[in-house]
Amino acid sequence: MNVQIVLAKKSADTWASVERKGDSSQNQPTGYPSSARNKTDFAKIDREFVEDKPEGEAAVNELFKSIYANGPEDTKRAMMKSWTESGGTCLSTNWDEVGKGKVEVKPPQGNLYTFMLS
């Protein structure tokens, strides 16, 4: 990916560098000219994109933690019962299905596990 930026100078003299040096306003966020009534903090938007997001198995674990933490009691009960009774091979959030009887062990094929979310 290439990005080309063309800058026009106000004066004809040469630039010593592209970045500002020794200026006290250097730490201040850049104010972009805009006719918008609400000012946008572009530094905040940039920080949101820079945040490290979990990937792979860590992302799946975060998802299930979130479902358990924010779910109703039936969902928590279904997750605990299905995970415990299946020996960690099945995870369900559906208490109507899990509450009917014992959850059977479903050994994974390869590295896959069965997750049933409803």
pLDDT tens by residue, 69-117: 998 999 999 999 998 998 888 888 899 998 998 988 877 666 555 555 5
Q: Whole-prediction pTM value?
A: 0.47
pLDDT score recorded for residue 39: 76
- Window from 16-25, 32-41, 53-62, 109-118 with minimum mean pLDDT: 109-118
The verdict on residue 52 lying in a domain is no
Higher pLDDT, 89 or 12: 89
Q: Give the structural domain span for 91.
A: 74-118
Beta strands in 1-118 (DSSP E): 90-92, 114-116
Domain count, the chain: 1
54 SS3 class: coil
CA distance 16 to 5: 18
- Window from 3-7, 52-56, 114-118 with minimum mean pLDDT: 114-118
Express the helix, strand and coil content of the chain in percent, nearest 5 each: 35, 5, 60
The verdict on residue 57 lying in a domain is no
CA distance 35 to 41: 15
The verdict on residue 19 lying in a domain is no
The verdict on residue 11 lying in a domain is no
The verdict on residue 78 lying in a domain is yes
* C-beta of residue 99 within 8 angstroms of C-beta of residue 85: no
pLDDT score recorded for residue 54: 76
CA distance 15 to 9: 9
Asked whether residue 30 carries a pLDDT value surpassing 60, the answer given is no
* C-beta of residue 83 within 8 angstroms of C-beta of residue 91: yes
Asked whether residue 68 carries a pLDDT value surpassing 80, the answer given is yes
